[in-house]
Amino acid sequence: MTGSTISSPGRPGLTSQEIVAGLRALGIEAGSAILVHSSLSSFGYVAGGAGAVIDAMLAAVGPAGTVVVPTLTGTPQDGPAHPPVFNVRSSPCWTGRIPTEFLRRPGVRRSLHPTHSVAGLGALMPALVEGHESCLTPCGPQSPYYRLAEKGGFVVLLGVGQGSNTTLHTAEELAGVPYHLQGEPTDCVVIGYDGVRRVYRLYLHAWGTPRRFERIDEDLTQLGIMRMGTIGLATVRVIRALPMIEWVVGKLREDPGYLVAAR
């Protein structure tokens, strides 16, 4: 493992300032755009809880930067027989305490995709999320996941592994792997900020194919695409999003089953 170790021995808890220092040591700078997947419990005790982690993320990128978090709502039941109904103001996400609290922050803008929404604050919002509900697939070229990569952004995994890296689905979609999307489109209901119900015919994620996303860790590190370190008790990965996507797409075009786990 390479990178910095930031901890708080003998103190009442990991502080927001220490989290900022850890992110900076791993290459996050003022003006960076980051998509953050997280586990609050992975840090150990954090003084200020989820709010302190959010404060740290925003401080690390500064006023010119952008912080995005996944606010996913999709379930294995979603599909033509059971279309999802998404309300941008009230549909809860299942991506953890940090995204849940992030959604309550003043000024946060959430995308309108019915299963793979994200929420963000910062200079690139709302451009990143505009039209996500019209994307034919959840994580494709017009999605926030790819747009952030095009802007030179980073995927940050705070205390979670590659299994939580939704941007790898972007690579799967770009490579056209056969297992990732459902075969038939679904008429999804989206209730936007204006309260109006609209229907979008989209291809949704096909659940059930186990992945082995963790296999990319060593290669991404050796290629200089990813840096790893620890903040508190959490293992942290900072990944340059576009080089990661391009490298994984190449692997998938050579072998469409590259990210599929053996059954």
Domain chopping of the chain, boundaries? 5-74+95-176+210-254
pLDDT at 263: 58
79: left (phi > 0), else alpha (psi -120 to 50), else beta?
left
**Alpha-carbon distance values, 235 to 1, 51, 83, 167 (Å):** 9, 19, 37, 19
Instruction: Specify the residue for token string 């695409």.
Output: 225
Phi and psi at residue 162, to the nearest 5°: -65, -20
At position 186, the amino acid (one-letter code) is T
Instruction: Specify the residue for token string 């997947």.
Output: 37
* pLDDT tens digits along 236-263: 999 999 999 999 999 999 999 999 998 5
pLDDT at 11: 53
Q: Can you give the pTM of this predicted structure? A: 0.94
CB 68 within 8 A of CB 148: yes
Sheet holding 154-158, edge to edge: 5-6, 226-231, 234-240, 154-158, 33-38, 66-70, 118-122, 109-110
At position 209, the amino acid (one-letter code) is T
CB 52 within 8 A of CB 20: no
Which residues have C-beta within 8 Å of that of residue 120, sequence separation ≥ 6?
66, 67, 68, 69, 108, 109, 110, 128, 129, 144
Distance of alpha carbon 260 from its chain centroid, rounded?
A: 20
pLDDT at 262: 82
Cβ density class 193-229: b for 16+ within 10 Å, e for less: eeeeeeebebbbbeeebebebeebeeebbeeebbbbb
Low-confidence ranges of the chain (pLDDT < 50): 1-9
Q: Please report, to the nearest 10 degrees, the dihedral formed by the alpha carbons of residues 126, 143, 38, 21 taken in order.
A: -60
